[in-house]
Amino acid sequence: MDSIINDFTINIATANGTGSQSANLILLQSLFDMGVPVSGKNLFPSNISGLPTWYIVRLSDKGYQAPGDRTHIQVLVNPATWEDDLAALEPGSVVIWNSDTKKKTVDREDIVSYPVPMSSLARKINPKIAKLVTNIIYVGVLAELLGIDQACLESAVAKQFKGKATAVELNITALGLGRDYCKEHLTKSDPYAVEPREVTTPQFFIEGNEAAALGSHYGGVQLLAWYPITPSSSLAEGIISYIPRLRTDDEGNANVAVIQAEDELAAAGMVLGAGWAGGRGMTATSGPGISLMQEFIGLAYFAEIPSVFWDVVRVGPSTGLPTRTQQSDISMLYEGSHGDTQHIVLIPGTVEECFEYGWRAFDYAEQFQTPVFGMSDLDLGMNRWACSGFTYPDQPMDRGKVVREQEVFDAFENFGRYLDVDGDGIPYRTLPGSGMDPILYRGTGHNPQGVYSEKPEDYYNLMQRLRTKIDNARDQLPAPVLREEEECEVGIIFLGSMENSIQEIDDLLEETGLKVSQCRVRALPFHSEVEDFIRRHEVSIVLEINRDGQLYGILRRELPNDLVTKVHSVAYSDGMPPRARIYAERIQATLKEMSQ
């Protein structure tokens, strides 16, 4: 039997609240430390304890990070999903199962079966915490079967239980029990194996939310106002956790405030208050929170208040699938609130970009005096991704057109809060407490001096200026990432966390003889390079993780007429992180439909 090295998917079925997450992260980290390109996806329920959870570990020397088409090795610990998980396996798959599970067995002849009495082994260590230890036993079994390096395992355990000596010792003992059982009782009869790989660039694992949290600190966030919601809470909690280290003086006083608001409306209000007062305020939320914040988003746009909103998108509409991923808030962010609006949306596709847009968001918000959104998603935000390090901001903070000194103020021939002095649509502002140009900010119509006005020309001019202001932003925002083929036949336009599946999609298409170019959009409004990309290609397909093709809709509306017919949509979402084959097949089908 030929070995299959570093190219397979492990699916671990457990119940949440049983400590399986620690065990799975130890597995992931130890593979990573061996230099094996690996990714982990946590498919968890909206629940604290007892509901089914799957953890998908994909090893891929090609660097593919999507969940993959099928499971090669199934770990069965959860009786609740036992039959379904078993039935879903293709012939030849491997099952490692807890043989102590009551009334459950593995009776398929066409698969490789490794029964392990995980509960009894766990009870040997400590009957009181047998349930927690059960999970680490299967990691030991996998380590022995696949050939995972013991030193890497032990350092992963130490990392997971940092500073907790008892837990480290207990877990290493449990790993040993798993390994020993495997050695003594099981005969390897599957082809899967792990081999270490040389690491050229040292990397570490980090979640997108933690990266965005760190980036926010390097953007000098001064107020975090938030309301807990999955999958964004770890972004806010990440900010909080770094305050003692990064933002606190020797006396223990911080230069960033954190307020857990009573709801998302209040969180948004606080962010606006901070921006109005001259500070850098932000919130982190998900789609339902953005829905609640709509009114304030309109106020921030109309009264021109710098403000930063992170949306870690989950599956909608409504409460939707709170612990699953999607790219379905694009329209809501871009055109948030009633009336004519248009907002800047930054769309990271990597953890490095989560960090970068974490600080840049404040610069854009203050430069353009407008709400700025960071659009991440559950997949990018809550899963761990390889990162080779974060880059320090390459420019000082841009605080925008704020008049802070009286003599500067006096030099203005004519000052008005909403007067377009420079012709770029961006007016100057003074801050409360300065005594300069004191005005009553308002969400009502106003003239260039900020005074209430219902005059047709005042309203018309104001709305035109706001459009100019945001329109001028497009080429100052992050440009798309382009990977082009010489042929320029088919271009794929995509965004955000699809970055982690696109190379596999590209390769699958190439296997069928189709060479595609890639254009990853990183901000809205669209950079002019997106239009150039479409112009260069015969056909472009907008690929996104939602039902309606939201990005496609925006693009279609904004493109010149002659380009509209060149663009097509492939939008698909079932709550799962994007599996490459599904999207590749849909792209093929769309192209086929067009040629008919």
Partner 1 sequence: MSDRPARAVKLNVLNEPKESYTGGPSSLCPGCGHDQISNVIITAAWENGIEPHRIAKMSGIGCSSKTPAYYLGQSHGFNTVHGRMPSVTTGAYAINKELLYLGVSGDGDSASIGIGQLIHAIRRNMDMVYIVENNGVYGLTKGQYSATADVGSKKKKGPANETQPIDLCALAINLGCTFVARSFSGSKKQLTSILKAAMSHKGFALIDVISPCVTFNNNDESMRSYGYVKENEITLHMADYIPHFNPMVEIEVPEGHYRDITLHDGSTIRLETISDEHDPSNAVAALTALHEAEAGKKHVTGLLYFDATKPSLAEDLGLVDQALVDVSDEALRPDRASLDALNAEFLA
One residue of 88, 151, 254, 408 binding partner 1 per CB under 8 A: 254
Provide the CB-side half-sphere exposure for 76 (13 A, CA): 31
What would the two tokens of residue 332 be?
């809501």
Q: Which is it for strands 4-5 and 192-193: parallel, antiparallel or unpaired?
A: parallel
Contacts of 506 by beta carbon, 8 Å cutoff, 6+ apart: 492, 516, 518
396 binds partner 1 (CB under 8 A): yes
Distance, in Å, from the CA atom of 188 to the CA atom of 145, rounded to the nearest integer, reads 7
* Residue number with CB closer to partner 1 (156 or 545): 156
What residues contact residue 59 under an 8 Å CB cut-off, 6+ apart? 6, 7, 8, 9, 10, 31, 36, 37, 38, 194
Q: Which two tokens stand for residue 366?
A: 């203050």
**C-alpha dihedral, 423 to 441 to 404 to 279, nearest 10°:** -110
Rounded Cα distance, 478 and 4, in Å: 40
* Cβ distance to partner 1 smaller for residue 206 or 477: 206
Minimum distance from residue 160 beta carbon to partner 1 (Å) = 14
Cα separation, 59 vs 31, in Å, equals 8
Going by their DSSP bridges, the two strands 204-207 and 384-387 should be labelled as antiparallel
| Token pair listed for 358 | 């974490």
Exposed, middle or buried: residue 48 (CB in 10 Å: 0-12, 13-18, 19+)? exposed
Beta carbons of 225 and 261 less than 8 angstroms apart? yes
Site for partner 1 in 407-436 (CB under 8 A): 430-435
Pick between residue 98 and residue 430 the one whose CB is nearest to partner 1: 430
Whichever of 256 and 315 has its CB closer to partner 1, that residue is: 256
| CB distance 496 to 321 below 8 Å | no
- CA count, 13 A, side-chain hemisphere, 392: 1
Q: Which residue, 112 or 157, has its beta carbon nearer to partner 1?
A: 157
Q: Judged by CB under 8 A, which of 147, 196, 204, 412 binds partner 1? A: 204
The yes or no reply on residue 399 touching partner 1 (CB under 8 A) is yes
- In what helix (H) or strand (E) does residue 15 lie, and over which residues does it extend? strand 7-15
- Under rule CB under 8 A, which residues in 294-353 are in contact with partner 1? 295-296, 299, 303
List binders of partner 1 among 450-489 (CB under 8 A): 452
- Report the alpha-carbon distance of residue 501 to residue 579 in Å, rounded: 7
Report the residue number, 181 or 276, with the smaller CB distance to partner 1. 276
Q: Which stretch binds partner 1 (CB under 8 A): 96-104, 143-151, 197-205, 466-474?
A: 197-205
Is 111 an interacting residue with respect to partner 1 (CB under 8 A)?
A: no
Among 111, 129, 261, 582, binds partner 1 (CB under 8 A): 261
C-alpha torsion 423→425→430→436, nearest 10: 50
State which residue, 433 or 456, has the beta carbon closest to partner 1: 433
The correct pick among 92, 127, 317, 438 for binding partner 1 (CB under 8 A) is 438
Specify the residue, 87 or 440, whose C-beta has the smaller distance to partner 1. 440
291 class by beta-carbon count within 10 Å (0-12 exposed, 13-18 middle, 19+ buried): middle
Binding segment for partner 1 (CB under 8 A), chosen from 4-12, 17-25, 270-278, 316-324, is: 270-278
| Smallest separation, CB 430 to partner 1 (Å) | 8
The residues, ordered by sequence, that sit 6+ positions from 300 with a Cβ below 8 Å of its Cβ are: 272, 275, 306, 307, 370, 371
**Spatial separation of the C-alpha atoms in residues 250 and 472, rounded to whole Å:** 43
To partner 1, the closest distance from the beta carbon of 397 in angstroms equals 5
272 binds partner 1 (CB under 8 A): yes
**561 burial via Cβ count (<10 Å: 0-12, 13-18, 19+):** exposed
- Mask 159-188, x = binds partner 1 (CB under 8 A)? ------------------------------
Question: Which of positions 215-244 make contact with partner 1 (CB under 8 A)?
Answer: 217-220, 222-223, 225
Q: What distance in Å separates the CA atoms of residue 33 and residue 157, rounded to the nearest whole number?
A: 12
Is residue 439 close enough to count as binding partner 1 by CB under 8 A?
A: yes
- Does position 441 interact with partner 1 (CB under 8 A)? The reply is yes
Return the number of the residue (281 or 525) whose C-beta is nearest partner 1.
281
485 and 515 Cβ atoms separated by less than 8 Å: yes
Return the number of the residue (130 or 256) whose C-beta is nearest partner 1. 256
Kindly tell me which of 328 and 430 has the beta carbon lying closer to partner 1.
430
Q: Which of 51, 172, 397, 463 binds partner 1 (CB under 8 A)?
A: 397
Q: With CB under 8 A as the contact rule, which of the stretches 64-72, 214-222, 340-348, 462-470 interacts with partner 1?
A: 214-222
Compute the least distance from the CB of residue 389 to partner 1, in Å: 4
Place of tokens 């809470």: 233
With CB under 8 A, what is the number of residues at the site for partner 1?
71
From 14-22, 120-128, 269-277, 502-510, span contacting partner 1 (CB under 8 A): 269-277
Q: Can you read off the two tokens belonging to residue 454?
A: 């219902």
CB of 30 to partner 1, least distance (A): 16
Q: Which of residues 495-524 bind partner 1 (CB under 8 A)?
A: none
The smaller minimum CB distance to partner 1, of residues 152 and 274, is found at: 274
Minimum distance of partner 1 from residue 351's CB (angstroms): 11
Distance from chain centroid for Cα 236: 14
Q: How far is the CB of 347 from partner 1 (least distance, A)?
A: 23
Residue (127 or 389) nearer to partner 1, CB? 389
Which position among 246, 321, 481, 482 is part of the footprint of partner 1 (CB under 8 A)?
246
